[in-house]
Structure 1
Amino acid sequence: MERQSSIRLGALEKLKSFRGMEKQKSFRGIMSLERRSRDSPGKRGDTPLHLAARSGSVAHAQRILAELDRALVAEMAAKQNQDGETPLYVAAEKGHAEVVREILKVSDVQTAGIKASNSFDAFHIAAKQGHLEVLKEMLQALPALAMTTNSVNATALDTAAILGHVDIVNLLLETDASLARIARNNGKTVLHSAARMGHVEVVRSLLNKDPGIGLRTDKKGQTALHMASKGQNAEIVVELLKPDVSVIHIEDNKGNRPLHVATRKGNIIIVQTLLSVEGIDVNAVNRSGETAFAIAEKMNNEELVNILKEAGGETAKQQVHPPNSAKQLKQTVSDIRHDVQSQIKQTRQTKMQVNQIKKRLEKLHIGGLNNAINSNTVVAVLIATVAFAAIFTVPGNFVEDLTQAPPGMSLGQAYVASNPAFIIFLVFDALALFISLAVVVVQTSLIVVERRAKKRMVFVMNKLMWLACLFISVAFIALTYVVVGRDDWWLAWCTMAIGTVIMLTTLGSMCYCIIAHRLEEKNTRKIRKKASASQSRGSWSRSVDSDEEILNSEYKTKMYAL
């Protein structure tokens, strides 16, 4: 018996331990699933808080928010899925007011106002879906959400009015009546939207809060009555006429009154309602020169033609109108203004083109100056090299042996040292050498930024290079008298004649180019003075013409000498 009882006890203990292990495994599995769902997004990129908001599980949402730190809670509330939806957006769309309340506890206005991919935020989507309780929760927590707008500048009030959610419209108007005056990008107010969609109760609520809103026009110049005239609900037309009957005379940008619009849409009930208003101008003419009667005839709508004819309707041709001097004056002023604006626009474009050409010309001038500096440096080095080498390659060689040298000669002295031609060669060769070296030193040491100073430096260095070239030419000609000998001096004279003609012709041409360029610059300065004088007198177009003359004169000069 004792043995059997001990066996049973052992079996029970094994069973308990096995059940304990199973519980641990199941607990670990649940925890791992929770961690996995917490870390990995769903098919739409939903976080666990999104899923709780979508299912409406308040307990799940509370547990998720309680387990996170404060910083992580704010981050979790602002997290967007693939559609740009936050957890608050999802809860508001589904109408889960209690979940919305929990998420609002950890949200601020910026987080609550995050827009989804459809440009709606949580407040807008709740208004669109007609979730009144959700909106109450959001307004109680964050009243500023009522002022948020979507991509077309429409408020939640506008969204609710379009769909006819009267309770939501009344709630939002009680929160802030000024919401009714916020217009969309096209200028239409919430009253325009409600009137066009035919929601009578919404129109009535809006007019009760703000009767003057009926006179507001959109970017096309249309009032809410114009929009109602496009529909079929005559009751809305009556409501819009109650605050101020004069709204029936307001014209849009094309000169159309509500009667024109209703006639063009073929709305017989609306036309009859408008004609019943005392003081209506049946024969008002739009900017196309058409009356409502003419529009009905054009559309071949016999019923409307008869109705308008009974009310006294006729075409514009049948009317005898005195010439409207005010309209003619207005049209003339409009034409003049249009011409002036187009001229100003054209002048601005011309001035921009002139400035661009100026910049390009300045770049060309600076590039030319830089090329001239580089060329001067290269030529100076070349002349210095030639002048330096020439002194050591004198014809007749040097004294290398005093025993064979004539009396009075020293070692290393040139045999032609006493020749007058050699003396002339030596002097001018030295001048060419040292002038070239001076140019090299200056141009490799000075960095000139300002354009005028750079131009002046290039001018001076260029004239020094002229001298160096002239001196090296004289040195060469002098040396020819040594080389050819006394019997053939005519060759030296020929060489001198050739060199003189070429050098004088070249330098003379350069001097002519310099003088011509100076005269052009003087002429350009005169034009600039005239331009500045005309600009000071307010003649803008004349100053632009002067700039063009300056550019033309500069652009024609493809090259000039410094």
Structure 2
Amino acid sequence: MEEASTSTPAPMAAKPTVVKKTMAKQFTGKREDSQLHSAVRRGDFSAVKEILSNHMESEDELRDLLRKQNQCGETALYVAAEYGDADVVAELIKYYDLEDAETKARNGFDPFHIAAKQGELDVLRVLMEEHPELSMTVDLSNTTALHTAAAQGHVEVVEYLLEAAGSSLAAIAKSNGKTALHSAARNGHAEVVKAIVAVEPDTATRTDKKGQTPLHMAVKGQSIDVVVELMKGHRSSLNMADSKGNTALHVATRKGRIKIVELLLDNNETSPSTKAINRAGETPLDTAEKTGHPAIAAVLKTRGLPSAKAINNTTRPNAARELKQTVSDIKHEVHHQLEHARETRKRVQGIAKRINKMHVEGLDNAINSTTVVAVLIATVAFAAIFTVPGQYADELSSLLPGQSLGEANIADRPAFAIFFIFDSIALFISLAVVVVQTSVVAIEHKAKKNMMAVINKLMWLACVLISVAFLALAFVVVGEEERWLAVGVTVFGATIMLTTLGTMCYWVIMHRIEASNVRKSRKESMARSRQSGLLEFSGILTKRMYAI
């Protein structure tokens, strides 16, 4: 992140001292550490040699041991390099080929990179002696070890890498276009900047994808020494503008770096920048006034820097140039809006997929629940026919006239006939649902939903039938004298069932009407708008599932 602007930053009185941070030994280890990892963490050189010697008999076992990565993706060589244990690294690297030595941890660093980040020069020397190609390895953002060391301010490491790998290493840029010099300049490492410029002066004019030179990066900070070192290189960088038309003087002004502004103005090569107008139509003086830096504005006025208005009043307007600029601005704005819409659509589609997945999972759960309920109703209906009140005629000696063996004792009652008919229908409906659920596999979402809608209605019917069967037997069980109990239960149960089914039917009808209105509204909206992804998402969010 860029530092907060201050109007009067204190200049650095002396050359900053880079304090090398030593990696603390982590004796507790990390998940999935091997014995070799643990020995390396302890710095136990003899244990490392012993573990390696125990695996010498099998080349495959030795290579598996060396390749072993813990949960963080770290090999034993990575851990040794991170801790700066040059002796252990020298012992391990003997058994690593280039491919294994380049193995990256989950943080994107390989052993060479992590050693450069930690400033472990001795470790880097050992690795370079065995595999010089390691100096050219990059991570996912195309960052070299030189970038990493430069960003951390390890000047000795930077000088060694430039000497050992060649000055061309300094010319390699990250995926965002920034070189190692950009990183060193932004972080205020003057000695690193000096070392890079000394061997590869042309990097001082290299620009990143935003058109920024290392000098643009340097003036954002507070290190005057870095600015001085860059000004000693290609002086043309003083007047180079980034993609927004800002020169180094614009940037220093916006950041409130008054000492750096004065330093830039003291250089005669900066003269063209004093009248440079960026894409926002501002000179450095306009920028100072706009960003609220009155002290810098006063310095600029004292030095005679004009405003954009003063320049335009003395210069004949170029209609063609203004038109071209306007078209360019519109083009960039449209491009930005399209990119924003594309990203929004992508995020919306992702959310829509997750919501659809939730709908599918909910439907699957409903299908499974219906199958269980259908089996339960079938079981109850089947058992009820053989456990009727009054039992059955099971002895020939006790048979009544006209009665057959196995006949229910209450078979002649109308209530039993009602019970038998409704219980049987409920049984066979439930069995039919079980057969369909266990035999038919609906893959397409709409087909599965339609099948579930039919099965739900059948289950409603089965529940009603089993309820009627229960009420019919209730009149038999309570007897003639307590018939009012059966009547009361019938009224109470009928009220509950009718209310429940009526409410469910109401929800189904309202859902169908609402779904029809949403489809109609969506068709009309899509005819007027191209943002179909957003409309689809809004349709999903407004779809309330009542009853299938």
Q: Could you report, residue by residue, the CA deviation over 1:173-208 in whole angstroms, capped at 9, with x for unpaired residues?
A: 012221111111111110000001010100000001
Partner of 1:293: 285
Shift of 1:55: 1.3
1:108 maps to 2:108: no
Partner of 1:323: 317
Partner of 1:129: 118
Partner of 2:303: 311
Pick closer, same or farther for the CA change 1:210–1:74 going to 2, 3 Å.
same
Pick closer, same or farther for the CA change 1:242–1:126 going to 2, 3 Å.
same
Shift of 1:277: 1.0
Shift of 1:217: 0.3
Pick closer, same or farther for the CA change 1:119–1:341 going to 2, 3 Å.
closer
Partner of 1:232: 222
Pick closer, same or farther for the CA change 1:338–1:213 going to 2, 3 Å.
closer
Give runs of aligned pairs for residues 409-558 of structure 1, distance below 5 A.
none
Partner of 1:255: 245
Inter-partner Cα distance in structure 2 for 1:291 and 1:193: 27
Return the match for 2:129 from 118, 137, 140: 140
Give runs of aligned pairs for residues 6-155 of structure 1, distance below 5 A.
44-68=31-55, 69-155=58-144
Inter-partner Cα distance in structure 2 for 1:310 and 1:291: 15
Shift of 1:283: 2.1
Inter-partner Cα distance in structure 1 for 2:328 and 2:130: 52
Return the match for 1:217 from 207, 212, 225: 207
Secondary structure of 1:279's match? helix
Partner of 1:184: 174
1:165 maps to 2:164: no
- Contact 1:109/1:142 (<8 A) preserved: yes
1:284 maps to 2:276: yes
Inter-partner Cα distance in structure 2 for 1:125 and 1:87: 13
Inter-partner Cα distance in structure 1 for 2:334 and 2:284: 36
Inter-partner Cα distance in structure 1 for 2:219 and 2:88: 43
Q: Could you report, residue by residue, the CA deviation over 1:250-274 in whole angstroms, capped at 9, with x for unpaired residues?
A: 1111100000000000000110011
Shift of 1:227: 0.3
- Contact 1:93/1:126 (<8 A) preserved: yes
Shift of 1:209: 0.7
Pick closer, same or farther for the CA change 1:296–1:333 going to 2, 3 Å.
closer
Inter-partner Cα distance in structure 1 for 2:278 and 2:309: 13
Pick closer, same or farther for the CA change 1:325–1:53 going to 2, 3 Å.
farther
Secondary structure of 1:64's match? helix
Inter-partner Cα distance in structure 2 for 1:190 and 1:247: 17
Question: Across the two proteins, how many residue pairs are aligned to each other?
Answer: 303
Secondary structure of 1:313's match? coil
- Contact 1:147/1:155 (<8 A) preserved: yes
Secondary structure of 2:306's match? coil
Secondary structure of 2:77's match? helix
Inter-partner Cα distance in structure 1 for 2:297 and 2:255: 13
Inter-partner Cα distance in structure 1 for 2:135 and 2:320: 45
Shift of 1:300: 2.8
Shift of 1:314: 2.1
- Contact 1:283/1:293 (<8 A) preserved: no
- Contact 2:117/2:152 (<8 A) preserved: yes
Partner of 2:362: none
Inter-partner Cα distance in structure 2 for 1:314 and 1:79: 65
What is the letter of the counterpart of residue 217 of structure 1? Answer: T
- Contact 2:82/2:111 (<8 A) preserved: yes
Secondary structure of 1:318's match? helix
Inter-partner Cα distance in structure 1 for 2:36 and 2:183: 36
- Contact 2:119/2:149 (<8 A) preserved: yes
Q: Could you report, residue by residue, the CA deviation over 1:262-316 in whole angstroms, capped at 9, with x for unpaired residues?
A: 0000000110011011032312110100011111111232211110001111211
1:204 maps to 2:201: no
Secondary structure of 2:297's match? helix
Shift of 1:145: 0.7
What is the letter of the counterpart of residue 284 of structure 2? Answer: A
Deviates more, 1:50-59 or 1:225-234: 50-59
Identity %: 50
Partner of 1:505: none
Partner of 2:264: 274
Secondary structure of 1:83's match? coil
- Contact 2:82/2:114 (<8 A) preserved: yes
What is the letter of the counterpart of residue 193 of structure 2? Answer: V
Pick closer, same or farther for the CA change 1:336–1:165 going to 2, 3 Å.
closer
- Contact 2:116/2:146 (<8 A) preserved: yes
Inter-partner Cα distance in structure 2 for 1:49 and 1:42: 11
What is the letter of the counterpart of residue 299 of structure 2? Answer: I
Shift of 1:334: 5.4
What is the letter of the counterpart of residue 89 of structure 1? Answer: Y
Inter-partner Cα distance in structure 1 for 2:29 and 2:250: 55
Pick closer, same or farther for the CA change 1:113–1:265 going to 2, 3 Å.
same
What is the letter of the counterpart of residue 74 of structure 1? Answer: R
What is the letter of the counterpart of residue 60 of structure 1? Answer: A
Secondary structure of 2:245's match? coil
Pick closer, same or farther for the CA change 1:106–1:303 going to 2, 3 Å.
same
- Contact 2:288/2:296 (<8 A) preserved: yes
Give runs of aligned pairs for residues 284-433 of structure 1, distance below 5 A.
284-319=276-311, 320-324=314-318, 327-328=321-322, 331=325
- Contact 1:139/1:145 (<8 A) preserved: yes
Max Rg structure? 1
Shift of 1:226: 0.3
Inter-partner Cα distance in structure 2 for 1:297 and 1:336: 26
Secondary structure of 2:310's match? coil
Secondary structure of 1:255's match? coil
Shift of 1:70: 1.7
What is the letter of the counterpart of residue 51 of structure 1? Answer: S
TM-score by length of 1: 0.51
Deviates more, 1:201-210 or 1:177-186: 177-186
- Contact 1:188/1:217 (<8 A) preserved: yes
- Contact 2:29/2:41 (<8 A) preserved: no
Inter-partner Cα distance in structure 1 for 2:334 and 2:294: 47
Q: Unaligned 5+ residue runs, structure 1?
A: 1-40, 343-562
Secondary structure of 1:317's match? helix
- Contact 1:196/1:227 (<8 A) preserved: yes
Inter-partner Cα distance in structure 1 for 2:230 and 2:238: 9
Q: Could you report, residue by residue, the CA deviation over 1:465-499 in whole angstroms, capped at 9, with x for unpaired residues?
A: xxxxxxxxxxxxxxxxxxxxxxxxxxxxxxxxxxx
Deviates more, 1:205-214 or 1:271-280: 271-280
Q: Unaligned 5+ residue runs, structure 2?
A: 1-27, 337-548
TM-score by length of 2: 0.53
